[in-house]
Structure 1
Amino acid sequence: MTGVDESGEGGRGGRRSVVVKTVGLTVAAVLVLGAAAGGLAYWHLNDNIKSVDIDSALGDDRPARGVTTPSASATPLPTGAVNLLVLGSDSRSGAANEELGGGDSSGARSDTAMVVHVEAGRAGATVVSIPRDTLVTRPSCPLPSGGSTAVAYRAMFNSAYAVGGAVCAVKTVEELTGVRMDHYLEIDFSGFAKLVDALGGVTVTTEQDIDDDYSHLKLAAGTHHLDGERALALARTRHGIGDGSDLGRIALQQTLVKALLAQMSSTELLTDPAGLYRVADAVTGSLTTDTGLDSLTELIRFGQSLRGLAADDVRTVTMPVVTAPADPNRVVAKEPAAGKLWRSLR
């Protein structure tokens, strides 16, 4: 089992993959809502956004920040290289998430994890998916209540979020990669489903039948128009496809994200204020960021800095992995390939 390039074109995405996973759907939606960011609507959307002060929690025991050169512009958009950890979480907190996923907030996991590296000048990006089944050394993480978690060896990658939330997820990724995460973005179950519904559903094509008792999704091979709940089930599907590992689900998620971006661009939200607001409300209402991106103004500014990013300059890959020696149902980073990939993003 190895990590794979998901672009299908030598590491460079096709035209439909522009901004694919470049902060996922979040920045794509934030760019659209700039036209409606005024008055009470602005304040409501701004108040929706939750944040975590990751810098204060982790202190200085982290990889070094990248060096940036200030712009000469009076009101410069950011242009330096930047790394983001983007998570799709299966948090069950709140009635909407509980209905979609069951359980409670203590069972939360990071179902989807991507490291997004935007190059200096914002003219190129690399998006690396990390399979949640990857076995890692989970470092000791500070807890909001005080104290810290114990170091855990051969732990599931997505357990970091479960035991220590966003802070531990960031620290675990930095430990795994040696790359400083400058920003953090997370969207939960209900937000994803609401976003799809706000867009009027999404049309996807599957190449094989899907019958997954875990995600409760049954689809015949072919083209389907999915509502938010069924789209979420597709994003969570892994059993009965490929080898049943997280690599198969990552491929499904990429297909789904591309379809959502196509739906977003074809919906003409800029001419539909009500629809625009529903999309913006769905995204910001289930969004958690670090304190550097915790306002609508900051998100829009960051999104605007990515406008020059061409489709052919976005590369999507999966961290190289191999089957774990002691567990055929888990994977570990494949070295030296994984290390070489992470070093290229520092």
Structure 2
Amino acid sequence: MARRTGSARAANARSSSASLSIQPVPLSTNYLNNRRRRGGCHVPPSGVTIARPRAAHRRASLRQSKRDNGERGTTISRTTARPTPLARHGRQSSPHPFRAVAGFVAVALAVVAVSGASIGAYAAWDVAASITTVTLASDDEAAAVIAAGGDAPPEISAIDGGVNLLLVGSDSRTNQGDAYGEDEGGELNDVTMLLHISEDHSNATVVSFPRDLIVDIPECPEGGGYTAPINESLSQGGLACTVLTVEALSGLSIPFAAEIQFNGVIEMSNALGGVPVCVSEVIDDPFTGVYLEPGTHPLMGADALGFLRTRHGVGDGSDIGRISSQQVFLSSLVRTVKSDSTLTDFGKLYGLAKAAASNMILSQRLASPDTMVSIALSLKDMDLSKVTFVAYPNYYADWVPEGKVAPDTEAAGILFAAIQADQPVAVAAPGGIASVIDPNAPVTADPATPTDAAADPAAPTDGTDPAGPVDPDAPVDPAAPADGTTASGVTVLPDSVKGQTAADYTCSVGNP
């Protein structure tokens, strides 16, 4: 069956209105009513090559191979003198520049969520009404717009119940300018993130799926029904096909989805005034032109874009390492937006909302401004330590093509069982292949541990332990958390699941 190009699909999505920022994309009837529950990835016998019967699949693989080897554009020539630790960018294309989409998780986690209900409603109302000439700097300015003839924004509260929302980043260059190379036709979802908000709005989990994860792609409008990297799902039926793929992989129902354009990360980081990112070791990537020395850098605009693009410059040079580095940016982004200075800067909040909405294509159920704001408001008061970023567990296996990874279905089963049960999750230790704990992170006192508590009158005064010496052969407390166990209502994930919370201050690690 013929495959739509990225240009054709994007043009069709925008044909209804030249000025309306929010572009709805209907999800298929099969997705809405007859979801395919195909479970995890089929594991072929060792040594069996995965067939890709269609020429389109071979072209997609060739494109992927070229990108992996940096053949899409010319390499930036670098000089040895680097007087300032800022990211340097050329106008060349590079492998998978759409890593910038990671910053757009803030659409759900931060943009409107951290503002008051009235500010969030005004922002969404203005975007939906295509009012592009008014900057929301105060309630008075918004009231003046209404007095000039606009309709009053709705009163919106947090959404009832939990939320599963899929965020997809396409590598299409349609309407993105010439800074990212030529559009080769077709689309790959090189960034795929699932946001889950618990029913009581007490915790949220963001799962990043590696682009090279080998999965079963279900039958979709333009193909599918075979085993391939997850980033081929978008080309087999658009956003709805990627939703079907992640539903089958996770066992979750996903009623909301968004496809995001990569220019917006520049606009969003500019609207924030920069996102502080810690670097522990030099990041030097000739493919994206990024050079960052150790230290903390306020990244915005093209610098933020370049940091999120880099793969060769961080960790072990893999996409798994890139996800780990992106989580450093994401956690700092959420902290920045939830900071007091951002919450009181209405113009900054409004700029974030506009930048996000103008670079997104939304599913029908998400296209309503009321829905967007109500989902966002469910996160407004969530504690940073309850927002957890994790990578889908994976491993290198003999049965997958070189450079690809297999799903760790056992560890993933623990992760998604916790999500299905609305339990918060915790990683064994924050960090990953390309991130480490920031040694200069601010120390926050545990509110559950008072520092000025009165001395226990029964405690000995000679410095001895009233409990006596510890027996090294004593049995371990069965209530102590271990991989996959639940302690105090929190599921402790296996060591193979890497990630961190928004409260964890981490640094990105360069690729030596």
Superposed pair shares fold, TM > 0.5: yes
Aligned residue in 2 for 1:56: none
Q: How does 1:210-221 map to 2 (within 5 A)?
A: 210-221=283-294
Task: Tell me which protein shows more strand as a share of its residues.
Answer: 1
Per-residue CA deviation, residues 133-178 of structure 1 (Å, 9 max, x unaligned), is 1111212212xxxxx314232x111121234321111111112222
Q: Is the 8 A contact 1:116 1:126 kept in 2?
A: yes
Structure 1 residue matching 2:403: 3-state secondary structure: strand
Aligned residue in 1 for 2:174: 93
2:246 pairs with 1:190: no
Distance 2:203 2:262 in 1: 29
2:127 pairs with 1:45: yes
1:274 shift after superposition: 3.7
1:301 shift after superposition: 1.4
Q: How does 1:229-244 map to 2 (within 5 A)?
A: 229-244=302-317
Paired-residue identity, %: 35
Q: How does 1:216-295 map to 2 (within 5 A)?
A: 216-266=289-339, 268-269=341-342, 271-295=344-368
Aligned residue in 1 for 2:209: 130
Structure 2 residue matching 1:288: 3-state secondary structure: strand
Evaluate the alpha carbon distance shift between residue 126 and residue 259 of structure 1 in structure 2; reply closer, same or farther with a 3 A threshold: closer
1:34 shift after superposition: 5.0
Evaluate the alpha carbon distance shift between residue 270 and residue 263 of structure 1 in structure 2; reply closer, same or farther with a 3 A threshold: closer
Number of residue equivalences: 292
| Counterpart residue type for residue 367 of structure 2 | D
Evaluate the alpha carbon distance shift between residue 312 and residue 203 of structure 1 in structure 2; reply closer, same or farther with a 3 A threshold: closer
Aligned residue in 1 for 2:245: 172
Q: How does 1:95-174 map to 2 (within 5 A)?
A: 97-104=176-183, 106-142=185-221, 148-153=222-227, 155-174=228-247
**Match for residue 395 of structure 2 among 319, 322, 337:** 322
Consecutive unaligned residues in structure 2, runs of 5 or more: 1-101, 131-155, 421-512
Per-residue CA deviation, residues 64-120 of structure 1 (Å, 9 max, x unaligned), is xxxxxxxxxxx87433232221223333110xx243422227353323222222222
Distance 1:112 1:138 in 2: 16
Structure 2 residue matching 1:106: 3-state secondary structure: coil
Distance 2:304 2:165 in 1: 25
Consecutive unaligned residues in structure 1, runs of 5 or more: 1-20, 49-74, 143-147
Aligned residue in 2 for 1:340: 414
Structure 2 residue matching 1:230: 3-state secondary structure: helix
Q: Is the 8 A contact 2:120 2:373 kept in 1?
A: no
Evaluate the alpha carbon distance shift between residue 299 and residue 212 of structure 1 in structure 2; reply closer, same or farther with a 3 A threshold: same
Q: Segments of 4+ in structure 1 off by > 6 A?
A: none
Which of the pair has more CA radius of gyration?
2
TM-score when scaled to structure 1?
0.75
Does 1 or 2 have the higher relative contact order (CA < 8 Å, sep 6+)?
1
Evaluate the alpha carbon distance shift between residue 264 and residue 99 of structure 1 in structure 2; reply closer, same or farther with a 3 A threshold: farther
Q: Is the 8 A contact 1:269 1:275 kept in 2?
A: yes
Evaluate the alpha carbon distance shift between residue 35 and residue 215 of structure 1 in structure 2; reply closer, same or farther with a 3 A threshold: farther
Structure 1 residue matching 2:405: 3-state secondary structure: strand
RMSD across aligned C-alpha pairs, in angstroms? Answer: 2.9
Aligned residue in 1 for 2:146: none
Aligned residue in 1 for 2:160: 79
